[in-house]
A and B are shown apart, each in its own frame.
Chain A
Amino acid sequence: MPTAEQISPATVCDGDRSATTRRIVWLLGALLAASMIVALATGSAGTSLWQALSDVLQGRELSLRDRVVLLDIRAPRVLMGCLVGAALAVSGAVLQGLFRNPLADPGIVGVSAGASLGAVGAIVLGGALVVWTVPVSAFLGAWITTILLYRVATRRGRTSVATMLLAGIALTAFAMALTGILVYVADDTQLRDFTFWTMGSLAGSTWSKIYVAGPIIAIPLLLTPFLAKGLNGLTLGEAAAGHIGIRVQRLKACAVLIVAAATGAAVAVSGGIGFVGIVVPHLLRLASGPDHRYLLINSALLGAALLVMADLICRVIIAPAELPIGIVTAVIGAPFFLWILLRQRGIVDL
C-alpha cells in the first residue's frame, strides 16, 4: 500500500519549509567546514595538518617546508576557494532573482566578458609586471562594463531589466571583440597564459591577492541578505513589488553593484570558472525552495564548499601537475545538473 506521501509528493514540497530550510543551512555550514579542513589537510606535498597542529601545540618548531605548504600554499588557496565559490554562487542567485530568469548568470550581463578584457589587456599590454596587475585590471574591466550597462539601461531613474539583459549581450560581444584584437597582437606565450586563465584556476592564490580581492568580494556578500526580501517581492513582478512597498529602483541598483564587485573580483583572481553561478542556486531551490532569505546564504555556503572540493580534486588528481578548476567544475557539475533536471522536470521554475 502506498503511503500518502508517495501518492502525492508535491504536497510535501508545498507547505511551510522553514524547518527543513533551517536544517539545510546547518548542513551546508558543516559541509563547508568539513571541506575546508579536508582541503587544508590534503595535498601532493604530503604535509600532515594533524602532525603540524600537534607539533605547534607541543611548542615544536615547524619545518620551513611544512610551514610554506600549510600557510602559504594551502591556506590562501582554501580561503580563496571559499571567497570565489561564494561570490559566483551568490551573484548567480541575485541575478536570477533580479532578472526573474533562471538562466541569468554573471556571464550574461557582461561582467565576465569585461573582466576577461581587463585580464587580457594586462597580460598583453602590461606584461606581468606585478603579480596583481592581472586581477586588478580584470576587476576594473568588470566594473567599467557594469557601470556602462547600468547607464545604458537606466532612463529617468528607472532601470529596464529587459534593456539591461540585451545591453549585457551587446557589451559582452563588444568586450569579446576587443579581447579578440588583443589576442591577435599577443605573442604565443601570452596566448598560452590567456588560454590557461580562461580555463580558471585557484593556483595563483597568495595572501597578497586575498588582501586585494577579499574585501571586494566579502563586503558585497555580507550586504546581500538585505536584498533578500526585495528579491522575494520582485518575483511578483516589478509593479506588484512596488505596490507592496519595495523600492525597486534602489534594489536593482544595489544588486547590480554587488554582483559587479563580487564577480569582478572573483573572475579576476581565478579566471573563468563557469557553472557554479547557475548550478548552485538551482540545486538549492530544489532542496529548500525559492525564498531568498535562505537561498542567498545557502548559495554562499554551497558555492564555497563546492569550489573548495573541486580545487582539491584539481590539486591531487594528476599530481604533481594540476588541472584547471573550470574543467573540473564543468565535467562533474554539468552531468550531475542534467541528471537533476531529468529527475525533477517541471519544478525548476523560480
Chain B
Amino acid sequence: MIRKITALFSGLSVALILGTGATQAEPAERIVSAGGSITEIIYALGQEHRLVARDSTSNYPAEVSELPNIGYVRRLSAEGLLSVNPDLILAEEGAGPPETLAVLEETQIPIVSVPMGHNRAAVMDKIRTVAKALDVPEQGEQLADSVGAAIDSATSQEGLENKRVLFVLSMQSGRILAAGTNTAAQGIIEMVGATNVVQGFEGYKPLGDEAIITAAPDVILMMEAGGFLSVPDADVLAHPAIAVTPAGQNGDVLRMDGMLLLGFSVRTGQAITDLAAGLRDANG
C-alpha cells in the first residue's frame, strides 16, 4: 500500500514536472486533448492532424466533434484514454480524477498539465505550454504574439468603465447563479474594462433577489441559449428582481458563446471585441 501511495505521489509530481518542461524524444503523434481551450490552441497551431481524441468541453471548431469523446475533463476514464492509444495527453490544470492520472503514469504515457487562468498572461502561458508539448515552439511564439496583439487591441476599449455587468451562469426556478470574483466571467469582464457587479463572493453562487436589486446591473450577460435547461431572455427579464434593475428596464440581456467567452484561449481577443460591442449596444 505504501508503495502504491508513493507511486501515486510520484505520478502527480511527474505530471506537474512534465507540465513545466517536457521534451519528448520524438514528437507525439497521437494526442489527446482534455480541455476545450487546449483543443482550440492545437487547431490554431495547425496541429489538429495529431489529435486522436478530445474531452466533452472541446466543442470548437465544429469538426472537433468528429473525434472520440473521452468524457468530462475532471472524470477521465483510464481505460477509455488508453483505448485511443495516445502518446501524449494534454490536460487542463485540475483534470482528473487523480486515480486516473496515477494509473496513466504507470503506462508511461506523458501527461502535460496546462496551466489555467483568467487573464492575458494565462492565455500566453497556455499557448506556449501547448506549443512546447507539441514540439512546435516557433509556431507557438507566433500564435502567442498574434493572440496577444488581438487581446491588446481589443482591451484598449474606452467608455465601458461605468458598465455594470451581471454574469448569470444559470437560472433555475427563479434562482440566479451568478459569477463572483475569481471566475472566468469576472476575468473577461475586467479585460473589457467593465465592472462585475458581484464582488461579495468567489466562484459561482446563487445571488439573492435583494442583492440583485442593490447590484443594479446595466447588462445581464449569459451564455448562448441551447440545451433543455436554457432560459429564454423573456424569462430572465421577467425575474422580479432583475425586472427592476437598469438591465431589466432596458431589456439588456447579452448572450455569447460560452467557450468563446470563458475559454481564455486563442479567441479571447475576439471575445473581448464582441463583448465590448455588445455592451456598447446596450442601452443602459
B1-16: which residues lie under 8 A (CB-CB) from chain A? 1, 4-5, 8
Selected from B74, B79, B99, B106, the residue in CB contact (under 8 A) with A45 is B79
Q: Is B250 an interface residue (CB 8 A)?
A: no
The reply to whether B98 and A128 contact each other, CB–CB distance below 8 Å, is yes
The reply to whether A189 and B98 contact each other, CB–CB distance below 8 Å, is no
For A73, list chain B residues within 8 Å (CB): 78-79, 82, 103
Q: Is B94 an interface residue (CB 8 A)?
A: yes
Interface size on A, residues (CB 8 A): 38
Q: Is A285 an interface residue (CB 8 A)?
A: no
Q: Is B83 an interface residue (CB 8 A)?
A: yes
Q: Which of A91-99, A202-210, A225-233 has 4 or more CB atoms under 8 Å from chain B? A: A202-210
The reply to whether A208 and B69 contact each other, CB–CB distance below 8 Å, is no
A180-198: which residues lie under 8 A (CB-CB) from chain B? 184, 186-189, 192-193, 196
Selected from A43, A44, A211, the residue in CB contact (under 8 A) with B1 is A211
The reply to whether A321 and B69 contact each other, CB–CB distance below 8 Å, is yes
A208/B4 contact (C-beta < 8 A), A196-B74, A320-B71, A321-B77 known: yes
The reply to whether B5 and A130 contact each other, CB–CB distance below 8 Å, is yes
Q: Is B175 an interface residue (CB 8 A)?
A: no
The reply to whether B81 and A320 contact each other, CB–CB distance below 8 Å, is yes
The reply to whether B4 and A206 contact each other, CB–CB distance below 8 Å, is yes
A300-337: which residues lie under 8 A (CB-CB) from chain B? 315, 318-322
The reply to whether A74 and B204 contact each other, CB–CB distance below 8 Å, is no
Q: Which 8 A-B pairs give the minimum distances between C-beta atoms?
A: A321-B71, A320-B80, A44-B83, A187-B203, A322-B77, A204-B99, A208-B4, A45-B82
What are 25 sample pairs from A and B whose C-beta atoms fall under 8 A apart? A43-B79, A43-B83, A46-B83, A72-B103, A72-B106, A187-B202, A188-B183, A188-B204, A189-B74, A193-B74, A201-B75, A203-B77, A203-B100, A204-B97, A208-B5, A211-B1, A315-B79, A320-B69, A320-B77, A320-B80, A320-B84, A321-B80, A322-B71, A322-B77, A322-B80
Q: Which residues of B contact A (CB under 8 A)?
A: 1, 4-5, 8, 53, 56, 68-72, 74-75, 77-84, 94, 96-100, 102-103, 106-108, 182-183, 202-205
Q: Which residues of A contact B (CB under 8 A)?
A: 43-46, 64-65, 68-69, 72-74, 128, 130-131, 184, 186-189, 192-193, 196, 201, 203-209, 211-212, 315, 318-322
